[in-house]
Amino acid sequence: MTKPNASVELNAITKSYGSTTIIGDTSITINDGEFVSLLGPSGCGKSTILKMIAGLASPSTGTVSAGNEEIKGPGPDRGMVFQDHALLP
């Protein structure tokens, strides 16, 4: 259920590649004005969650929404800066 002041909401998302589950059942609500950091060891799914919020990846189950609209792909209202240089050598 989307909260009226939720800016970003991950509702019961999972992400699997084949038989390997990368992200287990996860729900996160980020309200307007909140500052959130994702912390964890390498390979735990932090970048995958950010890619889902940006619309660059889809959850295996569950929904990701921004501004009460489900994210189904990239949009002009979201952006992502990658860790690795992608444009310059």
In the chain, the amino acid numbered 89 is P
What are the domain boundaries of the chain? 6-70
Identify the pLDDT of residue 47. Answer: 92
What predicted TM-score, i.e. pTM, was given to this entire model?
A: 0.84
CATH architecture classification, 6-70: 3-Layer(aba) Sandwich (3.40)
Identify the pLDDT of residue 65. Answer: 96
pLDDT in tens, 44-89: 999 999 999 999 999 999 999 998 899 999 988 888 887 776 666 6
Identify the pLDDT of residue 3. Answer: 55
